Structure 1
Amino acid sequence: MANTTLNPDALTIMLVAGEASGDAHGAELINALRRRKADLRFIGCGGPRMAAAGQEQLFDLTRHAVVGLTEAISHYFTFRQLFFKLVTLAQMQKPDAVIFIDNSGFNLRLAQALRPKLPDSRLIYYISPQVWASRAGRVKVMKRTLDLVLSIFPFETEWYEKNAPGLPVHYVGHPKLDLLLPDALGQTEEGRIALMPGSRTVEIKRHLPVLWEAARLMAERKPNLKFMLISPNAEREREAVEWIERYGRTGFHYETCHNYQLTHLNRCQLALVKSGTGSLDCAFARVPQIVLYKVNPLTFAVARRLVKVKYLSMVNVLSKNPPIVPEFIQQDCTGPKIAAFALELLDHPKMRKHMIDQMTEVIASLGGEGASDRAAREVCLELTKVARGQSHSAHLKPA
Structure 2
Amino acid sequence: MSGAAPLDIFIVAGEESGDALGAGVMAELTALHAGEVRFRGVGGARMHAQGLAELFPMEDITAMGFAQVIAGLPRILRRMGETTEAIVSLPPDILVLVDAPDFTHRVARKVRARLPKLPIVKYVAPTVWVWRPGRAKAMAPDFDRVLAVLPFEPEAMQELGGPPTLYVGHPLLGELDRLRPGPQEAARRDASPPVLLVLPGSRRAELARLGPVFGDVLGRLQRMMPGVELVLPTLPRRHSQVEEIVASWPVKPRIIVDEGEKLAAFRVARAALAASGTVTLELALAGIPTVAAYKVPWLEGRIAPFFIRVKTAILPNLIVGEAAVPEYLQWHIDPPAMAARLVRLLEGGPEREAQLAAFARLDAIMGEGGDPPSRRAARAVLEALAASRQAQTPMCP
Category of TM-score, reference length = shorter chain? 0.7 to 0.9
Corresponding position of 2:300: 299
Corresponding position of 1:34: 30
Corresponding position of 1:397: none
Counting matched residue pairs gives 373
CA distance in 2, matches of 1:228, 1:295: 24
Q: CA deviation at 1:144?
A: 1.6
Contact 1:17–1:26 at 8 Å: present in 2 too?
no
Distance 1:63 1:88, change over 3 A: closer
Mapped pair 1:72 → 2:32: no
Corresponding position of 1:132: 129
Structure whose CA Rg is larger:
2
Corresponding position of 2:358: 358
Contact 1:45–1:60 at 8 Å: present in 2 too?
yes
CA distance in 2, matches of 1:62, 1:273: 32
Identity among equivalent pairs (%): 27
RMSD after superposition: 3.3
**5+ long unaligned stretches in structure 2:** none
Contact 2:19–2:44 at 8 Å: present in 1 too?
yes
Instruction: Return the match for 1:225 from 228, 246, 250.
Output: 228
Instruction: Return the match for 1:193 from 187, 190, 196.
Output: 196
Q: CA deviation at 1:45?
A: 4.0
CA distance in 1, matches of 2:301, 2:43: 28
Corresponding position of 2:170: 174
Corresponding position of 2:75: 81
> Given residue 346 of structure 2, which amino acid in structure 1 is its aligned partner?
L
CA distance in 2, matches of 1:238, 1:293: 22
TM-score by length of 1: 0.80
> Given residue 298 of structure 1, which amino acid in structure 2 is its aligned partner?
L
Instruction: Return the match for 1:244 from 239, 242, 253.
Output: 242
Q: CA offsets per residue over residues 110-166 of structure 1, 9 Å max, x none? A: 43344325544322111212223322211121112111111233333333334327x
The alignment partner of 1:266 has SS state of helix
Distance 1:26 1:226, change over 3 A: farther
Contact 2:276–2:313 at 8 Å: present in 1 too?
yes
> Given residue 358 of structure 2, which amino acid in structure 1 is its aligned partner?
Q
CA distance in 1, matches of 2:62, 2:43: 11
Q: Which has the higher contact order (CA 8 A, sep 6+)?
A: 1
Corresponding position of 1:150: 147
Mapped pair 1:327 → 2:323: no
CA distance in 1, matches of 2:197, 2:48: 28
Q: How does 1:44-59 map to 2 (within 5 A)?
A: 44-56=41-53, 58-59=56-57
Contact 2:211–2:246 at 8 Å: present in 1 too?
no
Q: CA offsets per residue over residues 345-385 of structure 1, 9 Å max, x none? A: 22344321221111211221111332221210111123346
TM-score by length of 2: 0.80
Contact 1:91–1:118 at 8 Å: present in 2 too?
no
Corresponding position of 2:375: 373
Worse overlay, 293-302 or 109-118:
109-118
CA distance in 1, matches of 2:209, 2:62: 16
**5+ long unaligned stretches in structure 1:** 1-7, 232-236, 392-399
Corresponding position of 1:3: none
Contact 2:231–2:255 at 8 Å: present in 1 too?
yes
Corresponding position of 1:234: none
> Given residue 195 of structure 2, which amino acid in structure 1 is its aligned partner?
R
Q: How does 1:233-272 map to 2 (within 5 A)?
A: 237-249=235-247, 251-259=251-259, 262-272=263-273
Corresponding position of 2:310: 309
> Given residue 35 of structure 1, which amino acid in structure 2 is its aligned partner?
A
Q: CA offsets per residue over residues 317-360 of structure 1, 9 Å max, x none? A: 1223x211111112334655543432342234432122111121
Q: CA deviation at 1:269?
A: 0.9
